[in-house]
Amino acid sequence: MRCPKCGSRDDKVIDSRQSRDASSIRRRRECLKCKYRFTTYEEIERSDLRVVKRNRTHEPFDRRKLATSIAKAFEKRSTSLLTLEDVVDEIVHELETGGREVPSSVIGSKVLEKLRALDEVAYLRYASVYQRFQDVDQFVDAIHTLGRRVKPNALQRELFPPEPAPKSTQGSRNVPISKNHGRV
């Protein structure tokens, strides 16, 4: 392994650990020349899984592409990176046990299934891109599929705030005031 700092090929492994799902090994290394420490990951290369796109073209499955699309759905949401990594691991495992070719629609469906159980906002974000929503009605339909009732006015954004209610004069007495600002 080449040192990222000095480029030397001489290093030693200080620590090795399996990932939580035992699909990869994390190795902590130290360069013997400059003593710089760095981390590498070792995993089985699975290049035989291919994705059949909507336009019927084929391309190799890219785990990073899947992880990036899921991360975009969770942007500015309070979900840990470990949770997202677990979701990606589960989906990849399901895909690998299913065969050598997988339609992109199957991948999208699996992602939606996981997101629906995890975070409804992320589910809607992903669904809007995956299902190519063209208008608000498709969003409303997707919200209804989540099983929630939407109040009729909840989807309308108020462009202007409501006018304040007029102040009630009830309960105040009209007491004449003299010119010297005292009460009569």
Give the mean pLDDT of the chain.
78
Q: What is the pLDDT of residue 131?
A: 65
Q: Nearest 5 degrees, angle CA 147-CA 78-CA 27? A: 120
Domain borders along the chain are: 1-44, 47-153
**Are 37 and 29 spatial neighbours (Cβ–Cβ below 8 Å)?**
yes
pLDDT band at 31 (very low <50, low <70, confident <90, very high): very high
Q: Give the global pTM.
A: 0.52
Task: Tell me the pLDDT tens digit for each residue of 40-79.
Answer: 988 776 557 889 988 999 999 888 999 988 988 888 888 8
Residue of 137, 7, 130 whose CA lies nearest to 70? 130
Is the four-CA dihedral 108, 111, 117, 118 of positive or negative sign? negative
> Distances in Å between the alpha carbon of 140 and those of 75, 112, 128, 132, 143?
21, 16, 11, 14, 5
Q: Which of 15-19, 27-31, 43-47, 159-163 has the highest mean pLDDT?
A: 27-31
Mean pLDDT of 96-113: 87
pLDDT, tens digit (0-9, with 9 covering 90-100), for 130-172: 667 677 777 677 777 776 544 444 444 444 445 565 565 555 5
